[in-house]
Structure 1
Amino acid sequence: MKNFTLITVSLLCSLCGISVSVSEFYTLEVQPGDAVTLLCSNYTSSPSQILWFRVVKLLNARCISHIFKAFDSASYCNGFENGRFEMTSNMSTVFLKIKQVDVSDSGLYFCGYYIRKNPLIVGATYLEVQVFNRLAKAMIMILGGLTVSLAVVTICLVVKIKQLKRARIEEENPQQTEGQGSDLNYAAVTFHPNSKRNLRPAPETEMVPNAIYSAIR
């Protein structure tokens, strides 16, 4: 992927009339509203004008900013004086900071200098602002919330249905119990055998006939 993009950069630069001597190539993926810092090596050993530029509409290299030597204040080209772009440099690296990026900032950024009024690329960065990833994350969060809500509603409905069934069964059981109680009437009689120790027969005067009555309906 990196080699393919590098070939695309070289082809694009040849169409734009830009000389290519790329020693560094980067790709950056950011979200809208983020701040990003592009960089390339400070390739000059003596004071020289270093600039950042960007390819616009595939055919024009547009200047963003330029600086003459390390630690100097940068100058900004037309259309980039809004404060979102900030170019700085030290003895080893040249930086370009972009604040609060948006979709329009996506594209190819180059660090280089001019030779006979033609830009020479030394470092290149492809910046991609991924606006659809943030929308996709938001949609995933919304769908996740809806799924959780649906699961909670389903569980509540199942519990409610079980409660209704239980209440209906409890209402029907007392009627069945009363119906069974009216159909069955039993008389329970318990007989206790005489103790073997009392073997002497009782006197005739003491013997009283016992009658056991059982009424069965």
Structure 2
Amino acid sequence: MGSFTVITALFFCIHCWISVSGSGFQTVEVQPGEEVTLQCTNISNHQTQADWFKVVNQTKPTCVSSMFESRGSASFCDGFQNGKFIMSSNITFVFLQIKQVNLSDVGLYFCGFYTNKHTVISDAVELRIQGNGEPNDEVKLSSQEECNGNTKAGTVMFISMAVFFMMTSAALAIKVRQLHAASKNELHLERNKMENIFCYSKAVLQDEGSLHLDSAALWLLAKTRSRRPAIERKVETHVVYYVGR
């Protein structure tokens, strides 16, 4: 039953993720040296921490910036503290502004929100730089194929990360269920042990009570006999037989 519940939850998570990623993936193209503002949908209905991430070398996600609330100040991670990145947000969107875009800024960006003790990924944005002055259509085609390859690689990376997060959550759910079952079994054994101790103690007390009652009866009987007059005790111990003629 527990495995079925986890598998069902995992199926719905995958289904929901596909729905979000299908409508939340964007592609932005800019000229070198231009300024661009990336945005993602604010999926949280209360003040929480929002984060921007970037996929480096198509394999490694790294932190860009984070902000707790729209009126707070953003903090930037290592490598993004050069002043060309600005993070802001409102009740609808979270923004990442990049000044003087160059080739090092190209890549896949995505944002996440910390809600219910989990980081939930909202949207993904791929930033591209438009080529200038290509001599012929063959170079343009090559550039387009390279961009398409980067897009596919970024999408695969994004899907892999989402599956990893979901598998981790499923493993944690199974672990919690196992710990709960072990704790319940231990409590049941402890309860049986206490019941056995109680029954044994009750039986011992009943036996001791019966023994005390018997001793008390014997003591009272001996005490009663010792208090009789000497004549009665003598009559009791000496029998005189009389036969009439």
TM-score (norm 2): 0.44
Structure (1 or 2) with the greater strand fraction: 1
Larger radius of gyration: 1
Structure (1 or 2) with the greater helix fraction: 2
TM-score (norm 1): 0.49
